[in-house]
Amino acid sequence: MSDDIRGMTAELVADPDSLIFLELGEALRRRGQLDAATKVARTGLARYPELARAHDLCARILSDRGEPDRAFEAWVTALQFDGGLVSAHKGLGFLYYRVGDLASAEKHLAYAAQADPDDVGTLGALERVQNLVPAVDAGPRLMLAREQRRVLQVADDASVGEPQLRRKIELDRHARSNGGWD
């Protein structure tokens, strides 16, 4: 166990209400210690059920565990508490990409790219998705710059696609029950 993880663990033991659980859970996740990360994240989420970043942490762990349906639900919940949480938009963009919903993937990745234009990983993912989306017209989906300008409109939309996301959960559940998830 690294000194950083030991220090964060000691801090969490000394103060169970500390938000250090977010950093500790992420550090454990990155080390591949998913069981320990899950325990830390669930304990933190129990203390802070309305904290978007806690739901986001759980979603990243679930995604790493190969549970995309539960990760999807956790990211949707995170966005209900904080519609601008960039990491949740990136996560949903990835999951939408995996199920072939390129329009939804593009929307979430464009939001994340606008919010963090220095994230080359997100910019690259957005460009890949945009290259796969058929160009129907010369509309805003053709160029990254155009999409980044439009993303502010998406962010201002109070619904942030929630009805569509809820419907997507239902469709994904149906697809999984019929062998649709890979």
Specify the pTM: 0.73
Task: Say what the pLDDT of residue 81 is.
Answer: 97
Q: Return the pLDDT at 134.
A: 72
**CA gap 101, 96 in Å, rounded:** 5
pLDDT 10s digits, 29-82: 999 999 999 999 999 999 999 999 999 999 999 999 999 999 999 999 999 999
Q: What span, in angstroms and rounded, lies between the C-alpha atoms of 53 and 37?
A: 14
- Fold of the CATH domain 69-177: 1.25.40
Boundaries of every domain in the chain: 1-49, 69-177
**pLDDT at residue number 3:** 86
